[in-house]
Amino acid sequence: MRNPWLKPALVLGLGLNLSAAVAAEQHAGDIQPWLANGQIELNAGLFEADFGDLSGGAYRTDDPGYDADTALGAFGAGNWLWFQAIGSLKYWDGFSWNASVPNGEHVELEDALGNTTSISASGASNPAGVIGEFDSAGDLHEHLDMTIRTADNSLGGSVGAYWITLQLFESAANSQSALAVSSTFDVIFNRGLQIAAYENAVAAVNPAPVPLPAAVWLFGSALMGGLWSVRRRSALDA
């Protein structure tokens, strides 16, 4: 890590305790982790995001955020929550997901230390970043700046959707040794698509239906063949 200190805004927030009522309120749409039996659990496996939402500009967002759900399981006070980029950037061209991007686009995440993770079609550079520090109640609510950039690193990106995969882990402060790890999860960014077109991209990320076993198909074929034979015999008898 290049910077051993958290950003001033984050430092000011450290040590502040939320009441039980406030801590129980979760921000809709955020990634909501909790600790259970030494494992980080998540409220979902896929999260939606939109470059250009609110006042961030056409190529920037800080949603979804990270909002620990202490009602289900608090983290260690003073520990850090990290993200880890997994794999490479994928692009939706309106018809299918692709492992290549049109203009060298990459997604950048700026962590709480000011370090940048870049996720491109060729993989991730500086893949781990600090999200924030858990307060004395083991709670955390943070939002990180995320941008879409072109090959020359300027803000911009082709119209479409962009898919990244992340994982969370908890560590002691100033350490990258994982104390607990989450399963991987996906974030799908909209970049200029109409809502219906974007939702088509999101739907295409979901796992394909489990195919029927071959034996079932064979049984179905035999049944249809039997019905056809019965109908043919009835027609001949008539």
pLDDT band for 15, please (50, 70, 90 cuts).
very low
pLDDT-based confidence at residue 24 (cuts at 50, 70, 90): very low
Structural tokens at position 190: 């909209």
pTM attached to this predicted model:
0.78
The full set of domain ranges for the chain reads 8-205, 214-238
Phi-psi group of 174: left, alpha or beta (phi > 0 → left; psi -120 to 50 → alpha; rest → beta): left
pLDDT value for 210: 38
**Is the per-residue pLDDT at 226 higher than 80?**
no
Mean pLDDT over all residues of the chain?
A: 82
Q: Is the pLDDT of residue 185 over 60?
A: yes
C-alpha distances in Å from residue 77, one per residue of 27, 43, 83, 142, 147: 21, 21, 18, 15, 30
- Sign of the Cα torsion 131, 136, 141, 142 reads negative
